[in-house]
Each structure stands twice: as C-alpha cells, then as structure tokens.
C-alpha cells in the first residue's frame, strides 16, 4: 500500500543531441547538449528551494537520464538508484532516425497507432510501457512511505504513466495532451486512494513571491499553470487508484 502524503517528483532528462537533430531516441541513447546540462543545473536550483529534500533519486539507467540525475543530485547526499522500470519505450527499428529517414527506410512502419498493443518491429507497445510505468511508480512509492522521492525518466514513459494515472485517452496526434518539456518538474502526491497532481511542466516560469500566493502548490516554491478546463478536470478526477 502507498502511504498518505508520499510524493514523487518526476523529471524528464535534459535536452540531448538527438532532441536537437529531431532523431527518435526511445531505448537508444544520445548525450546531453550543453543546454541540457545547464537546464539540469537550473532544475537542481529550483528543487533546492523545496520545503523538503528528496530522500533518494531513482533514474532510468539510459545515459541521458543518468547524467541528468547526477547533475540534479550533485553537492547533495541524495543517493542515486538505477531502475530499469524507468527506461524509455523502445521504438525498435525507428530509433536513431529523423522523420525523413523513417519515411525513406521504413515507409510502412507506423510510429503511432490507436491500437495500444501495436509496437514497431523490435519495439515495445504502448500498453506494455504503461503497465511498466504504473508498476514502477507504485513500487518506488511503497519503498518510501510518506517521503519525497525524485524520479528521472523520459517523455514517452511519463506520457504513458500519467495517462494511466489521470485516465486520459491516447491521441495519435503528436503534441496533443500532456506537455513534457525537458527538465520540467512534475509533482504527484498520494492522497486518499490515489495520486493527485500538485504540479506539472514547471520550468521556472513563476517567481517565488507569486508562488507563495497559490496555497497548496507553494511547497515546492513553484506554481502550476494550467488551463481552466484541465484545472476543473484535476479537481474532480485525479484521485485515481494505480
């Protein structure tokens, strides 16, 4: 059972060379750019303003996530633990390719499909990634009852896991749904019978003085800006059991 008040700080890795080049990463890897490393330092500074420090950092063992975790925890006593459950979804033969290269080399292979069980050749299905993400969230939370835990992972993993938590349907149109910027801070807190989103996609857009005015979101020293429709959705429907 997950204990009341347990918190997970979810952070996507910093910008990578393949992000800049428009190459699909998946379970393959690419090093952080100078911008990615600098953004991770800024994220570390924002995390340091929180009301309490994470007790541990779990990270995907892929290099881009591991490097981000090392930057986030530099100068602290926070231990870093590799967790295979946090690895990005594999896209098989499509990994490492740009959109143009994918069309030229694999014109009949789809990247996205409304079928949750579809996987590109050699890749992983969305349903498999989602099940893995949900299991990892639950296992990590149960190991640290009532504590705050830092988790460094990937956009596809975050999308799959959060859609399960929020009960959001998948949309095959890229860019629809959840915003998943690099090094953004996302906060889940277990309340009642499920996870509730306290913060999403925060990259330092809000100053500390403004944040003090938003009540329950002020614990991290950041604010969560969301549209009115999604705000209403959050208030009514976030207490969903994993």
Asked if 13 is an active-site residue, the reply is yes
Structure tokens at 34: 């100078």
Whether 91 is covered by a domain: the verdict is: yes
Whether 2 is covered by a domain: the verdict is: no
d(CA 134, CA 193): 15
Q: Which of 168, 203, 204, 199 is nearest to 186 (CA)?
A: 199
State the average pLDDT for the chain. Answer: 85
CB neighbours of residue 189 within 10 Å = 18
- In the set 15, 88, 95, 124, the catalytic residue is 88
pLDDT 10s digit of each residue in the chain, 242 long? 899 999 999 999 999 999 999 999 999 999 999 999 999 999 999 999 998 999 999 999 999 999 999 999 999 999 999 999 999 999 999 999 999 999 999 999 999 898 999 999 999 999 999 999 999 999 999 999 999 999 999 999 999 898 888 888 776 555 556 788 999 999 999 998 899 999 999 998 765 433 333 333 333 333 333 333 333 333 333 333 22
The pLDDT of residue 174 is: 56
The pLDDT of residue 207 is: 54
Asked if 88 is an active-site residue, the reply is yes
Q: Are strands 7-12 and 185-191 parallel, antiparallel or unpaired?
A: antiparallel
Whether 93 is covered by a domain: the verdict is: yes
Whether 223 is covered by a domain: the verdict is: yes
> What's the pTM value of the predicted model, to 2 decimals?
0.84
Q: Which residue has the tokens 């602290």?
A: 76
Whether 1 is covered by a domain: the verdict is: no
- E strand intervals along 20-147: 57-59, 80-82
d(CA 2, CA 89): 25
Task: Count the domains in the chain.
Answer: 1
User: The domain spanning residue 216 has which CATH number?
Assistant: 3.40.50.1240
Q: Which residue range forms the structural domain that includes residue 104?
A: 7-237
The pLDDT of residue 172 is: 55
Whether 242 is covered by a domain: the verdict is: no
Q: What angle do CA 167, 242, 173 make, to 5 degrees?
A: 30
- In the set 13, 15, 124, 144, the catalytic residue is 13
């Amino acid at each position: 059972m997950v204990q009341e008040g347990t918190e997970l700080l979810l952070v996507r890795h910093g910008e990578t060379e393949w992000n800049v080049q428009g190459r699909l990463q998946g379970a393959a890897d690419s090093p952080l750019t100078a911008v990615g490393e600098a953004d991770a330092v800024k994220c570390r500074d924002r995390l340091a303003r929180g009301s309490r420090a994470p007790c541990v950092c779990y990270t995907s063992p892929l290099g881009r996530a591991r490097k981000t975790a090392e930057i986030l925890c530099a100068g602290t006593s926070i231990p870093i633990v590799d967790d295979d459950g946090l690895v990005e979804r594999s896209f098989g033969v499509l990994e490492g390719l740009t959109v143009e290269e994918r069309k030229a080399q694999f014109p009949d292979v789809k990247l996205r499909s409304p079928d949750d069980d579809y996987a590109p050749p050699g890749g992983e299905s969305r349903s498999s990634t989602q099940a893995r993400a949900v299991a990892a969230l639950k296992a990590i939370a149960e190991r640290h009852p009532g504590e705050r835990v830092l988790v460094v992972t990937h956009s596809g993993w975050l999308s799959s896991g959060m859609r399960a938590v929020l009960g959001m349907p998948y949309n095959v149109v890229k860019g629809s749904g959840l915003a998943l910027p690099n090094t953004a801070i996302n906060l889940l807190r277990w309340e009642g019978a499920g996870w509730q989103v306290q913060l999403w996609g925060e990259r330092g857009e809000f100053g500390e003085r403004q944040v003090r005015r938003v009540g329950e979101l002020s614990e991290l020293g950041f604010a969560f800006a969301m549209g009115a429709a999604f705000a209403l959705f959050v208030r009514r429907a976030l207490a969903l059991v994993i």
